[in-house]
Structure 1
Amino acid sequence: MSGALDRGQWQWENATAGAVAGFATVAALYPLDVVRTRFQVNDGQVTGLPLYKNTGHAIFTIARTEGLKGLYAGFYPAVLGSTVSWGLYFLFYNNAKQRYSKGSGEKLSAGLHLVSAAEAGALVCLCTNPIWLVKTRLQLQNPLHQTRPYSGFHDALRTILKEEGWRALYKGLGPGLLLQVSHGAIQFTAYEELRKAVINFKSKGGTKKHATGDKLLNSVDYAVLGASSKLAAILLTYPYLVIRARLQQRPSNAGIPRYLDSWHVVKETVRFEGLRGFYKGITSHLLKNVPASSITFVVYENVLNLLRPSRENK
C-alpha cells in the first residue's frame, strides 16, 4: 500500500514540477512566439497579413502598430496550454517510465524512453489541441484583419463553436500528434541519454566527491542538457509546426479555409515556397525555445529536488 502511495506522490511531484516549469517557460520570451506564428502562416498567397523582413523588424513593427497587446496576443491560452501540457507531459511520461520498469526503479533503455515520451506526447496533444488552436488564432489577429476579432480566449471558443462547430477545435490535430509524439520523443530521449553521459563522465572524473547520480549535476548542466535536446528536436520536427499553424488559421469571411488538410498544405508549400517554406519562423522559434527549454529543465529539476526530500522523509 505504501508503495502505491509513494508512486502517487511521485507522480504528483512530477506534475507539479512540470506545471511550474511550463509557466516559467511561457512567461519568458513570449513575443518571439507571436512572431514565429505570423511568419509560419505567411505563404505569400494571402493578403491581410503584415510583411516582416526578419525577427527584429517583426517585433518592432508589432510593438509600433499594435503595442504590448500585440506582442502578447494569445498569452492567456499560451500560459494555460503550456502549464497544462508540461504538467500532463511529465505526469504521463514518468507514469509510463514507471510502468515499463514495472515499478522496480531499474534504468530503462533508450527505446523505452522513446516509447514513454511518444505515449505522453500523444495523450497531451489530444487534451490540449483546442487551446493551441485558439492561441494561434489570437496571435494572428492584426489591424489588417477584416473578420470581427475575438475579444479573448473564451470569446474565441464560443465563436469557433458557433460558427465552425466542435470539430474545428481539432484542426491541425494530425500534424500536432506527429509533432508532439516525435518532438517529445526526440527531446526526452536525447535529454535522458545526454544526462546519463554527463553523470558517467563526472562520476569517472570525480568532479564531486561522494556524490552520485543526479547529485552530480547542477543548474548549468540542466540548462545545457535542456538546450541541446531541444535543438535536436526542433531541427527534425519544425515542419509539423508550420503545417499545424497554417491549418489552424481562421477561415475567411465567406467561411472558406485557406487549406483543406495537411496534404494540401504540403503540396501548396512545396509548389510556391519549396523546402524553405517548411522552416519559416524557425529563427524566432530557436531564439525562444532553446533558452526556454533550458529554463524549463532547470526549474523542473530544481523543483523536483525541493519536493523529493519531503517524500523521502515520510
Structure 2
Amino acid sequence: MEDKRNIQIIEWEHLDKKKFYVFGVAMTMMIRVSVYPFTLIRTRLQVQRGKSLYHGTFDAFLKILRADGVTGLYRGFLVNTFTLISGQCYVTTYELTRKFVADYSQSNTVKSLVAGGSASLVAQSITVPIDVVSQHLMMQRKGDRMGRFQVRGSPEGRGIVAFGQTKDIIRQILRADGLRGFYRGYVASLLTYIPNSAVWWPFYHFYA
C-alpha cells in the first residue's frame, strides 16, 4: 500500500519572513479584539467574592457595558496587545532552535521537543509581566474596588489616560513587590506551558 504521509515540513528557511510577521500579527490582533471582552469578564468573575458584583457572564457583560460603555470591556487592552510580541518571539525561537538542534540531531521529535520548550520559555518571560499589568487594569471599575491596586480616576477614559493608569499600576507594583511583582505566577506558567509546548510539537509532526 502506498504511503501517503509524505508531508513537507516547513522549516525556517522556507518562510517568507515579511508575510509571516505581518499576517501573523494582523490575524492575532483580530482574534484578540474579538475575545478580549470575555477575557476581562472571566478575570473579574474569578476574583469577585461570591456573586457580590456579577451573577454570571451575561450579567457581567451588561453591567460593565452600562457602567463604562464599550471601552469598559477593553480595559487593559492596549497593554495586553504587547503580548503580540511574545507570540512572534515564540515562533521565531521555535524555528531558530529547530535549525540549531538540526546540527546535532536529525530526529524531528528531538528538534520539536527542544524547540517547543525553548519557545515557551522565551514567550512566557515576555508575556507574564504584561499579563500582570493588564490584569490589574482589568480590575479597575467605577464604584467598589476589585483588585489590590487602585489607579487615579479617568473621567474621560481617553487613551492617554489609560497609559497614565498603566504607569500608575506599574509604580504601585514596584512599591509593593519590587520587580518580582511583575513575575507573580511565572513558575506556574512555565510548568504549564513548557511541557505542553514541548510535547505538542512532536505529536503535531507525528500525526501530520
Per the normalisation by structure 2, the TM-score is 0.72
Within the alignment, does 1:128 sit opposite 2:35 as a pair? yes
| 2:124 maps to amino acid | I
Count of residue pairs brought into register by the alignment:
184
Within the alignment, does 1:245 sit opposite 2:130 as a pair? no
Shift of 1:156: 2.4
Q: Which residue is equivalent to 2:159?
A: none
Q: 1:231 to 1:170 in 2, by over 3 A?
A: same
Shift of 1:129: 1.5
| 1:182 maps to amino acid | I
Per the normalisation by structure 1, the TM-score is 0.50
Alpha-carbon separation, structure 2, partners of 1:128 and 1:262: 21
| 1:230 maps to amino acid | S
Q: 1:111 to 1:199 in 2, by over 3 A?
A: farther
Q: Which residue is equivalent to 2:175?
A: 271
Q: Which residue is equivalent to 1:232?
A: 122
Shift of 1:110: 6.6
2:85 to 163, 170, 182: 182
Q: Which residue is equivalent to 2:98?
A: 195
Question: In the alignment, is the contact (CA less than 8 A) between 1:173 and 1:244 conserved in 2?
Answer: yes
Q: Which residue is equivalent to 1:155?
A: 59
1:165 to 69, 79, 84: 69
Taking only aligned residues, the RMSD between alpha carbons, in angstroms, comes to 3.2
Q: 1:154 to 1:222 in 2, by over 3 A?
A: farther
Shift of 1:162: 2.4
| 1:249 maps to amino acid | M
Unaligned runs of 5+ in 2: 1-9, 153-164
SS where residue 274 of structure 1 aligns?
Answer: helix
Question: In the alignment, is the contact (CA less than 8 A) between 1:171 and 1:248 conserved in 2?
Answer: yes
Alpha-carbon separation, structure 2, partners of 1:265 and 1:202: 46
| 1:272 maps to amino acid | A
Q: 1:286 to 1:252 in 2, by over 3 A?
A: farther
Q: 1:201 to 1:178 in 2, by over 3 A?
A: same
SS where residue 82 of structure 2 aligns?
Answer: helix
Q: Alignment identity in percent?
A: 26
> RCO higher in 1 or 2 (8 Å CA, sep ≥ 6)?
1
| 2:44 maps to amino acid | R
| 2:71 maps to amino acid | R
Q: 1:287 to 1:242 in 2, by over 3 A?
A: same
Alpha-carbon separation, structure 2, partners of 1:298 and 1:250: 41
User: Could you give the per-residue CA deviations for residues 18-48 of structure 1, whole angstroms, max 9, x where no partner exists?
Assistant: xxxxxxxxxxxxxxxxxxxxxxxxxxxxxxx
Q: 1:134 to 1:295 in 2, by over 3 A?
A: farther
Q: Which residue is equivalent to 2:194?
A: 290
Question: In the alignment, is the contact (CA less than 8 A) between 2:82 and 2:130 conserved in 1?
Answer: yes
Question: In the alignment, is the contact (CA less than 8 A) between 1:129 and 1:173 conserved in 2?
Answer: yes
Q: 1:295 to 1:253 in 2, by over 3 A?
A: farther
User: Could you give the per-residue CA deviations for residues 215-266 of structure 1, whole angstroms, max 9, x where no partner exists?
Assistant: x513x54333212111012123421111011001153644798235211111
| 1:263 maps to amino acid | K
User: Could you give the per-residue CA deviations for residues 124-155 of structure 1, whole angstroms, max 9, x where no partner exists?
Assistant: 32232112212211221344x7x33332x333
Shift of 1:281: 1.8
User: Could you give the per-residue CA deviations for residues 152-173 of structure 1, whole angstroms, max 9, x where no partner exists?
Assistant: x333222222232111111111
User: Could you give the per-residue CA deviations for residues 263-306 of structure 1, whole angstroms, max 9, x where no partner exists?
Assistant: 11112112232211111121222222222323443454455x1x
Q: Which residue is equivalent to 2:4?
A: none
Alpha-carbon separation, structure 2, partners of 1:226 and 1:142: 38
Unaligned runs of 5+ in 1: 1-93, 95-104, 204-215, 306-314
| 2:79 maps to amino acid | P
